[in-house]
């Protein structure tokens, strides 16, 4: 069979499969939406009817009249009221309404909806539950009509596409195009397999390409799977999947010590009351399911909010770190309300208490947990699902308007009331690899130099991060020109969103080409995930000029290895929460070692942040990291400088 005929047949098959698949996907999507709407209708109607019945003060006749009236006025298949003892108090049923859709279509697209259930009460006394099931025939009717419209439109589109394809088929060589696309995807860090050609001239090429891609994909998938398993083993509670106590505390300490992030933040502690009693009354499996329900409610916040951290501190205690001001009490109340609704399903007398605190990140971790524990103790004394907030501390940052903050930051940059502090990154031989140089500002002309945690949130709010980071890069280039020491500066994720930021950096680098070869720029891991294209563009423009690009605060997000490969980074710094305690934890050490192996395979250097313990340092050298930074590294360099001076 000729190449052109093969391509024609292949194109025809692809078009048909695309049409059929698109119609099927569209029908499935519409079915899911309609099914969800029907489920919500059942739930809403059940809640509405239960509320009306609860207002009848237990009068069964009035409640039966309400059910009958609701049934007659709606499009229901059944309404059933079960009393508190489980017996049916009243029910109404109707035969399913016939659908206009063909039977085969109805059979292929079943609508499975659970009845809406709501509790009926008389004051504090439960008097039963109401179950509501709506007719589903109209869902199939609408689904059939939508599918027919979609199929007709897709058929027209397919016909037009087929005509256009016939006009250009003579000039297409599909196997060669596939091979080219496969090569491009490999360069971009993805692994695409292509169908092996039956054309003798191309068969060996496609077979060799597929073999190479399969081997590379298998290698990275195996490493990524192993690394993820090690991460879960080292950092997560085996029951809930949340960070265990040790890892949560490490993440918490790391969050307090970082330069970025808001000056004020929140911590919520919640405790499942009488866990031992629950185990005895309900059994271990039910108690575990209850813990999972609490964990899932807490876990929803880190999944939606960047920088939020959740953990299980012990059997019954959970913690939630909120990197934002003035949200702790609202979060605690939302959690309390959600658990108040969901926990009774596991059994009676299941209660949770909540303690919340908001403080400056400059306060030590002991103060955070002390205040939160005190609030939690007060909540336990108040009763089930109580929420207590620790009294507010005196703010470290004076209250003033955004315009004033903006002017202070702008003036500090313009008048050069700024400085770069220096923290060494050293290798095994105590040689300085480079200096980390966070920026400090003197907001008040007669005040102290402030770390970034005090003014960075204000710069973000005022959209000044690009100006601040450009100024920091300029200071670093000046310092490198003076002493020739390699330096790295932090780049805010918000600066990457500024369309002219990379161009401004490029202009600065062009003005100091020699110093630029010893300049590094690093962004937080979250920026590499959420703004990958912008990070890639910055690296594409600056790395050819000698600038190093790195990732800091790296942890679980490094599982996206393919994207890191595509980014063309130079180094990665593992977050303190990942490396602290590595000496006494074999699982954590194995995870770090796996990270190093994977990143080394991408030709990246690997450094460890926030190291304080000499035992951890030795364990990190055993894991083959390229360097460490933190209090221990600063002390080593300070000690060496003192000896030299003597």
Q: What is the CATH number of the domain that holds 116?
A: 3.30.110.200
pLDDT higher than threshold 70 for residue 644: no
Q: How far is CA 267 from the centre of its chain?
A: 19
Three-state SS for 555?
A: coil
Q: State the DSSP string of 358-375.
A: EEETTS-HHHHHHHHHHH
Answer yes or no: is 535 within a domain: yes
Indicate whether 44 and 113 sit together in one domain.
yes
Q: Give the pLDDT mean for 589-599.
A: 87
CB 273 within 8 A of CB 333: no
Look up tokens 């019945």; give the residue. 53
What is d(CA 236, CA 311) in angstroms, rounded to the nearest whole number? Answer: 8
- Whether 590 maps to a domain, the answer reads yes
Ramachandran angles phi, psi of 267, nearest 5°:
-135, 130
For residues 140 and 376, the model is more confident at 376
Cα gap 379→383, rounded to integer Å: 7
Whether residue 447 is found in the same domain as residue 509? yes
Domain count, the chain: 4
DSSP 155-173: HHHHHHHHHHHHHHGGG--
Close Cβ partners of 518 (under 8 Å, ≥ 6 residues apart): 434, 480, 484, 485, 486, 487, 546
Per residue in 297-345, pLDDT tens? 998 888 887 778 899 998 889 999 998 888 889 999 999 999 999 998 8
Which of 333, 366, 389 delimits the end of a domain?
Answer: 389
Examine residue 617 and state whether it is found in any structural domain, yes or no: yes
3-class DSSP state for residue 18? Answer: helix
Check whether residue 605 and residue 511 sit in a common domain: yes
Q: Which long-range contacts (CB under 8 A, 24 or more apart) does 240-243 make?
A: 240/291, 240/292, 240/295, 240/299, 240/312, 241/295, 241/299, 242/295, 242/298, 242/299, 242/310, 242/311, 242/312, 242/318, 243/309, 243/310, 243/311, 243/312
| Co-location of 618 and 493 in the same domain | yes
* Residue where a domain terminates, one of 110, 128, 163: 163
Per-residue model confidence as pLDDT tens digits over 254-278: 888 877 767 788 999 999 988 888 8
Same domain, 412 and 540: yes
Q: What percent of the chain has pLDDT over 70?
A: 90
pLDDT digits over 200-251, tens only?
A: 766 777 888 888 877 777 777 777 777 777 778 888 888 988 988 988 988 8
The whole domain housing 560 covers: 402-645
Identify the bridge partners of residue 547 per DSSP, sorted by sequence position. Answer: none
Domain holding 463: CATH number? 3.20.20.450
Tell me: do 350 and 449 sit in the same domain: no
Q: Which CATH number do you get for residue 347?
A: 3.30.70.270
The domain boundary residue, chosen from 324, 356, 389: 389
195 lies in a domain?
Answer: no
Q: Is residue 194 in some structural domain?
A: no
Based on the fold, state whether residues 425 and 472 are members of the same structural domain. yes
Q: What is the DSSP letter of 50?
A: H
């Amino acid at each position: 069979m000729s190449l052109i005929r093969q391509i024609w047949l292949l194109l025809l098959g692809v078009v048909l499969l695309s049409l059929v698949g698109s119609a099927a996907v569209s029908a499935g999507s519409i079915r899911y939406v309609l099914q969800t709407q029907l489920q919500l209708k059942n739930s809403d109607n059940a809640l509405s009817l239960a509320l009306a019945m609860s207002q009848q003060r237990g009068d069964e006749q009035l409640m039966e009249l309400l059910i009958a009236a609701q049934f007659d006025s709606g499009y229901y298949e059944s309404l059933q009221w079960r009393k508190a003892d489980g017996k049916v108090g009243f029910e109404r049923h109707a035969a399913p309404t016939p659908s206009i859709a063909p039977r085969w279509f109805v059979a292929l697209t079943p609508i499975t909806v659970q009845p809406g259930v709501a509790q009926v009460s008389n004051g504090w006394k439960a008097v039963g539950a109401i179950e509501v099931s709506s007719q589903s025939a109209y869902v199939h009717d609408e689904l059939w009509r939508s599918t027919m419209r979609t199929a007709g439109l897709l058929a027209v589109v397919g016909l037009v596409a087929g005509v256009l394809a016939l006009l250009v088929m003579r000039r297409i060589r599909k196997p060669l195009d596939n091979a080219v696309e496969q090569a491009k995807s490999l360069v971009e860090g993805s692994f695409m397999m292509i169908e092996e050609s039956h054309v003798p001239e191309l068969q060996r090429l496609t077979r060799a390409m597929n073999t190479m891609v399969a081997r590379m994909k298998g290698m990275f998938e195996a490493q990524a799977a192993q690394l993820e398993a090690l991460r879960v083993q080292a950092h997560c509670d085996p029951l809930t999947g949340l960070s265990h106590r040790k890892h949560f505390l490490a993440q918490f300490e790391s969050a307090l010590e970082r330069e970025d992030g808001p000056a004020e933040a929140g911590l919520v502690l919640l405790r499942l009351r009488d866990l031992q009693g629950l185990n005895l009354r309900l059994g271990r499996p039910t108690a575990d399911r209850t813990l999972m329900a609490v964990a899932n409610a807490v876990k929803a916040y880190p999944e939606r909010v960047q920088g939020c951290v959740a953990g299980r501190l012990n059997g019954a205690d959970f913690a939630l770190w909120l990197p934002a001001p003035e949200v702790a009490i609202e979060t605690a109340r939302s959690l309390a309300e959600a658990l108040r609704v969901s926990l009774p399903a596991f059994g009676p007398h299941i209660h949770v208490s909540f303690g919340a605190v908001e403080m400056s990140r400059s306060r030590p971790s002991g103060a955070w947990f002390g205040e939160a524990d005190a609030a939690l103790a007060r909540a336990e004394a108040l009763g089930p699902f109580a929420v207590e907030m620790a009294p507010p501390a005196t703010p470290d940052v004076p209250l003033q308007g955004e315009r004033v903050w903006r002017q202070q930051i702008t003036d500090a940059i313009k008048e050069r009331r700024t400085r770069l502090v220096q923290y060494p990154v050293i290798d095994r031989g105590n040689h300085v690899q480079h200096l980390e140089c966070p920026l400090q500002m003197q907001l008040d002309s007669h005040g102290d130099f402030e770390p970034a945690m005090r003014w960075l949130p204000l710069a973000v709010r005022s959209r000044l991060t690009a100006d601040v980071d450009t100024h920091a890069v300029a200071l670093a280039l000046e310092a490198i020109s003076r002493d020739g020491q390699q330096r790295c500066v932090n780049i805010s994720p918000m600066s990457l969103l500024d369309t002219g930021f990379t161009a401004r950096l490029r202009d600065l680098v062009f003005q100091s080409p020699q110093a630029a070869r010893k300049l590094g720029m690093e962004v937080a891991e979250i920026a590499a995930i959420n703004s990958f294209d912008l990070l890639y563009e910055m690296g594409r423009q600056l790395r050819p000029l000698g600038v190093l690009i790195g990732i800091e605060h790296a942890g679980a997000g490094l599982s996206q290895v393919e994207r890191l490969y595509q980014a063309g980074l130079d180094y990665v710094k593992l977050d303190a929460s990942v490396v602290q305690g590595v000496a006494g934890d074999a699982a954590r050490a194995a995870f770090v070692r796996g990270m190093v192996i994977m990143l080394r395979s991408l030709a990246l250097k690997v450094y460890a942040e926030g190291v304080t313990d000499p035992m951890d340092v030795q364990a990190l050298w055993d894991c083959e990291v390229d360097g460490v930074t933190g209090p221990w590294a600063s002390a080593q360099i300070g000690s060496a400088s003192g000896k030299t001076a003597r």
